Structures are given as structure tokens and as C-alpha cells.
Amino acid sequence: MKISYKKLWVLLAEREISKQEFREIMQLATGTMTKLNKGQEVSMSVMLRICEYLDCNIGDICDAVKTE
């Protein structure tokens, strides 16, 4: 399985927050932002910070996607 952050990008677009602005507001390291962009795993603490900022649940920003 892999992770998809498509919901996160849609949510940011709906709120008119650019990825760059989001990274700066969240004080995310460039490496963490790269992982998010590539659909790689990031730490649970980062996920929880994002959820707190966006006032949402983890399922609102990511999905587990089955790979073959």
C-alpha cells in the first residue's frame, strides 16, 4: 500500500492556500514537503499538526491506496 495526499491538495486549493504558503505556515522542512508531494510517508506528528491547522481528521487529508 502507499499513501495519497490528494485530499490534502484539494483541501488547500479549496481554501486558496498555496503549497508554498502552507509549507511556511506549518514550518515544514523542505524534505517533509517533498515527501508529501511524492506521496511518501511522513511522521504522525506532522500529520496531526496539519490536521490541527486545517481543523480536520487524518482521513480528510490522506488515503491508503492499494498497489499491485
Q: For the segment 20-49, what is each residue's pLDDT rounded down to a tens digit?
A: 999 999 999 999 999 999 999 999 999 999
Residue-range domain boundaries for the chain: 2-65
CA dist 49 and 67 (Å) reads 27
CA atoms within 13 A on the CB side of 51: 13
Whole-prediction pTM value?
Answer: 0.90
pLDDT band at 9 (very low <50, low <70, confident <90, very high): very high
Q: Which CATH superfamily is domain 2-65 in?
A: lambda repressor-like DNA-binding domains (1.10.260.40)
pLDDT above 90: residue 67: no
CA dist 10 and 33 (Å) reads 16
